[in-house]
Amino acid sequence: MPSRPEAAGFFQASYATLPERFFARADLAPVVAPKLIKLNRPLAAELSLDADFWGSDDGVAILAGNVSPKDVQPLALAYAGHQFGQFVPQLGDGRALLIGEAFGRDGSRREIQLKGSGRTRFSRGADGRAALGPVLREYVVSEAMAALGIPTTRALAAVTTGEAVYREQPQPGAIVARVAASHIRIGTFQYFAARGDHEGLKTLADYAIERHYPDAAAKDNPYLALLENVIAAQARLVARWMLVGFIHGVMNTDNMSISGETIDYGPCAFMDSYHPGTVFSSIDAGGRYAYANQPRIAVWNLARLAETLLPLLAGSEDVAVAAAEAALKQFQTAYDGVFHTGLRRKLGLFADYPEDLPLAGGLLEAMSANEADFTLVFRSLAGDLEAPAGEGTTRTLFTRSEDFDEWARRWKERLAREPEHDAGRRAMMLSVNPKYIPRNHRVEEVIRAAVDRSDFSPFEELVAVLAKPFDEQPGMERYTNPPLPDERVLRTFCGT
Least Cα distance to 65 among 110, 98, 114 occurs for: 114
254 is catalytic: yes
Which residues are paired to 102 by β-bridges? 110
What region does 49 belong to: left with phi over 0, alpha with psi -120 to 50, or beta? beta
Alpha-carbon torsion (212, 470, 462, 460), positive or negative: negative
Q: Residues near 259 by Cβ (< 8 Å), separated by ≥ 6?
A: 151, 180, 181, 182, 184, 211, 212, 233
CA distance 419 to 261: 37
Q: How many residues does the chain have?
A: 496
Closest listed residue to residue 162, CA positions, set 66, 291, 297: 66
Cα–Cα nearest to 425, from 387, 383, 393: 383
Q: Which long-range contacts (CB under 8 A, 24 or more apart) does 381-389 make?
A: 381/346, 381/347, 381/348, 381/411, 381/429, 381/433, 382/348, 382/425, 382/426, 382/429, 382/430, 382/433, 384/408, 385/348, 385/415, 385/422, 385/425, 385/426, 385/429
Task: Exactly one of 254, 264, 272, 284 is catalytic; name it.
Answer: 254
Backbone angle region of 388, left / alpha / beta, with phi > 0 → left and psi within -120 to 50 → alpha:
beta
The DSSP secondary structure of 401-439, one letter per residue, reads HHHHHHHHHHHHHHHTT-GGGHHHHHHHHHHHS-S----
Classify 56 as helix, strand or coil.
coil
Which residues are identified as catalytic? 254
